[in-house]
Amino acid sequence: MSQTSETVLEIDLAALEHNYNYMRSKIGASTKMLGVVKAFAYGSDSVKIATRLEKLGVNYFAVAYTKEGITLRKGGITKPILVLHPQSSNFEEVIAYNLMPNIYSKYTLNTFITTAEKLHQKNYPIHLKINTGLNRLGFSIEEIDWIVNKLTTTQSTKVEGIFSHLGASEDTAEKDFTLLQIKNYQKALDKILPQLAYKPICHLCNTSGIINYPEAHYDMVRTGIGLYGYGNSAKEDKNLIPVGTLKTLISQIHHIKKGESVGYNRGFIASKNTKTATLPLGHADGINRIYGKQKTSVLINGKLAPIIGNVCMDMLMINVTNVDCNEGDEVILFGKEKSAEEFANNAGTISYELITSISQRVKRNIIN
Ligand SMILES: *Cc1c(COP(=O)(O)O)cnc(C)c1O
């Protein structure tokens, strides 16, 4: 049995490499790959993950916010970095750190051009985002003529990329919607590309788009969750290896009698004599209260044990009546041996939310 001395999120870079190669195998040799490393690389470690991906030959990175891009630059990352959701107040820093902003509205294009001109930029690369149905960020197709016209008024910026984002690429029941998004994206490209003197990088697909819509890969794809080992389907999960494994250990075991309760607000009442174990992690570590009250389980010595009662800030309790275990034994919440997708699904959420929620209090342990 392996030993753990505290709560750790083990990050396996060999698993990352496997997933990178798998996602690569899904795209054409000339298709570029962008690695999405926002939110601490989906709750892991953005600089460590990006450094390995850069070595593996990834072409591009994306983060959500400007400061995440700055962290990568300070960590030595040299490949292009797209900032998916910069604020106009960040544009000077975007330029100072050689990041590429997502420009998604008239306001962001106007302000970016003003900033780029003020800083005497020439052909500073930007990515234009088109709204094809997600209705989150993006220009409408009707605004394209305005964009092209605006761009002719300045030498300060150049369109390095044109992209959009699929809203339901993992959902086979929403195939018609996705096909409509692809059609809208193509319509936008047909309108804008002939008006530019150069060819920008066109990119649309996220992980499930890569897998389910090979006809829509365009020049580049953006993969996030796939790199971290989850494929949004049982079939694809088999081809991928979870990068993060959240481990802890048993702090204390209690033998409680029928009728006794466990935890705050007596969230668990024993219907019979029960053996419980207390673990040193809680909602401040990212294991939220939604996982309490037997919604989901952890793994000890190969056996599942449900989380009981209310999850506390720094601790949670599990029912180990049927598990042969002792104080100090290792406990796995999710990872290679037990999928984060399953852990999350049991409580009504998804792997994305679970893995990005593991707080910075949890030590990251990088292996391989
Ligand atoms: C987060 C994000 C991605 C990555 O999506 P996955 O499903 O994790 O592959 C791609 N593109 C955009 C615009 C995103 O916000």
Q: What is the CATH number of the domain that holds 357?
A: 2.40.37.10
Ligand 1 binding pocket (C-beta < 6 A) is 36, 84, 165, 206-207, 222-226
Binding-site sequence positions for substrate: 136, 313
Atom of ligand 1 nearest to the CA of 163: 13
CA of 35 to the centre of ligand 1 (A): 9
CA of 206 to the centre of ligand 1 (A): 5
Cβ pair 242, 228 in contact under 8 A:
yes
Q: Is residue 21 domain-resident? A: no
Atom 15 (ligand 1) nearest CA? 84
Site to probe by mutation for ligand 1, drawn from 44, 185, 206, 355 as the one with most ligand atoms within 8 Å of Cβ, is: 206
Same domain assignment for residues 38 and 174: yes
Per DSSP (E only), the strands in the chain are 8-12, 32-36, 60-63, 81-83, 100-103, 124-129, 157-163, 201-203, 220-223, 244-249, 252-256, 261-262, 268-269, 274-279, 297-300, 303-308, 316-319, 330-334, 363-367
Would you say the pTM of this structure is higher than 0.75? yes
Same domain assignment for residues 165 and 36: yes
Same domain assignment for residues 189 and 47: yes
Same domain assignment for residues 204 and 170: yes
CA of 191 to the centre of ligand 1 (A): 25
Cβ pair 319, 276 in contact under 8 A:
yes
Atom 6 (ligand 1) nearest CA? 224
Catalytic site residue 264? yes
Give the pLDDT confidence of 10-68 residue by residue, as tens digits: 999 999 999 999 999 999 999 999 999 999 999 999 999 999 999 999 999 999 999 99
DSSP, residue by residue, 300-364: ETTEEEEEES---SS-EEEE-TTS---TT-EEEEESSSS-HHHHHHTTT--HHHHHHHS-TTSEE
Side chain identity, residue 229: G
CA of 31 to the centre of ligand 1 (A): 17
Neighbours of 115 (CB within 10 A): 21
Q: Is residue 214 domain-resident? A: yes
Catalytic site residue 191? no
User: Residue 218: which of 192, 200, 230, 231 has the closest Cα?
Assistant: 200
Cβ pair 170, 232 in contact under 8 A:
yes
Atom of ligand 1 nearest to the CA of 223: 9
Atom of ligand 1 nearest to the CA of 226: 9
Q: Is residue 16 domain-resident? A: no
Q: Which of 26, 38, 129, 338 is catalytic?
A: 38
Helix, strand or coil, per DSSP, at residue 101: strand
Same domain assignment for residues 56 and 157: yes
User: Residue 152: which of 186, 195, 111, 211 has the closest Cα?
Assistant: 195
Low-confidence ranges of the chain (pLDDT < 50): 1
Same domain assignment for residues 212 and 99: yes
Q: Which residue in the block uniquely carries the two structure tokens 């040193």?
A: 280
For 317-323, the CB contacts below 8 A with 24+ separation are 317/262, 317/263, 317/268, 317/276, 317/277, 317/278, 317/279, 318/276, 318/277, 318/279, 319/268, 319/274, 319/275, 319/276, 319/294, 320/250, 320/253, 320/275, 320/276, 320/277, 321/273, 321/274, 321/275, 323/275
Give the separation between CA 366 and CA 368, rounded to whole angstroms.
7
Q: Which of 106, 118, 122, 264 is catalytic?
A: 264
CA of 205 to the centre of ligand 1 (A): 8
Q: What is the CATH number of the domain that holds 54?
A: 3.20.20.10
Neighbours of 75 (CB within 10 A): 13
Same domain assignment for residues 190 and 257: no
Q: Which residue in the block uniquely carries the two structure tokens 């490393």?
A: 37
Domain that holds residue 83: 31-228
Give the separation between CA 311 and CA 335, rounded to whole angstroms.
20
Atom of ligand 1 nearest to the CA of 170: 7
User: Residue 15: which of 224, 211, 227 has the closest Cα?
Assistant: 227
Atom 4 (ligand 1) nearest CA? 224
Q: Greatest CA span in the chain, whole angstroms? A: 78
Number of domains in the chain: 2
Q: Is residue 23 domain-resident? A: no
Give the separation between CA 61 and CA 47, rounded to whole angstroms.
11
Q: Is residue 25 domain-resident? A: no
